[in-house]
Amino acid sequence: MPRVPRMVVTDPGQKAAYHVISRTALDGLPFGDVEKDELVRIIKRLSSIYCVEVFGYAVMGNHFHLLVEVHPGSMVSDEEVRRRYQLLYREGTAFPEGCLDEYRERFCNLSAYVKDIKQSFSCFYNKRKKRRGTLWGERFKSVLVQQGDTLVHCLAYIDLNAVRAGIVSRPEDYRWCSIGYHMQAGNTDGFLSSDFGMPDVPKSDGVSQIRTYREYLYHLGAIEKRGAAKISKEVLDAEAAEGFELNRVRRFRYRSRYFTDSGVIGSRAFVEACYDVFKDRFHTTREKIPKRVRGIEGMYSLKRLADI
C-alpha cells in the first residue's frame, strides 16, 4: 500500500506547527536515563541548527514527542543559513556558496530535521549497546497543529505523558519533558519557546505565562482518562493553594539535581577558576561558560567532562 503523502505547509511566507511522534522498533522500554538524556541533547543541538522553534517535547521509554514550529525559507537570510551551516559542521568550515538554496531548504524542512535527530540517536544507541540494525519503527508521524488553543492543548498532552503513564504524580517531576525542562533546568540556553500560547497573558510576561499554563496543565491532567493515570485531587488542590507557583522549597528540590549532574558547582568565580585548571579534560574546542542555576541566587554550574 503506498504511503500517504505527509501534510506539510508549503506556503513560502507561512510558519507551521507540527506534533511529531516516533517510536522504536524494539520491544519493551529500551530507553533508560542515559538514552533519554542523549536524545534530549541531540534534539536541543539540532533545534539550534534547523529553523524551528520548539514548544515542547517528551522522551519516553520507547518513543518521543515533539511540538515544533518550522520557519519557511523566505524568512531565513543568507547570513543565517551560513551561520547554521557552521553550527552543523564546525566553526571555520568553508561554506559552499553554490549550495545556499539547498541548505536553506534543508534547514527549513521538517523531514530532514527529524531524520537527523533519529539517525544521530541511532548511531549513539547502537554504539552504546554494541548492536546493529534498525532502531526506529515506521516513519515518524506528524500532525499539523493550528496555533492558539489547539497548540496549547497539544503541548499539555505531551507534557502529561509521564503522568498518564503513572511514572510521576506531577508533570514537572519528569525531567525528560518540556515542563520538566522549564522547571528543573530553567529552560537553559533558551532551548524552548517561552510562549505558552496563553491568549490572555502578555508574551513578555514569562512568569505569568508559565503559571497560567501550569494551572491549565494540572486541571487537564486531573480529568479522568480511561486506562491512564491522572493527577490526583490532592495534588491539584495543593498546587491551587500555591497559586500554581513553585515555592522556594520545591524550586530548590528541582535545582538540586545540579549537585549530582554537574561537574563543577558554586559561585561564578569558583567555576571559572576550576575550568581554567581542568580545561584540558574537556573534549571540545569551544570555551565552556558557567551556566547560572536558576532559582538559587549566585550559583553556577559546569557540566561533566565527558558523560553529560
Contact 289, 301 (CB under 8 A): no
The dihedral sign for the CA sequence 181, 186, 189, 194? positive
Q: Can you list the domains of the chain with their CATH numbers?
A: 16-72+108-253 (3.30.70.1290), 75-106 (no CATH), 262-303 (no CATH)
- For the chain of 308 residues, list the mean pLDDT of each consecutive stretch of 10: 53 82 96 95 97 97 96 94 93 91 96 97 96 92 88 93 96 95 89 82 81 93 90 94 79 62 73 78 69 70 53
Q: What is the pTM of this model?
A: 0.81
Q: CA distances (Å), 298 to each of 55, 109, 110, 268, in order?
A: 28, 40, 39, 7
What's the length of the chain?
308
Contact 221, 233 (CB under 8 A): no
pLDDT for 301 equals 78
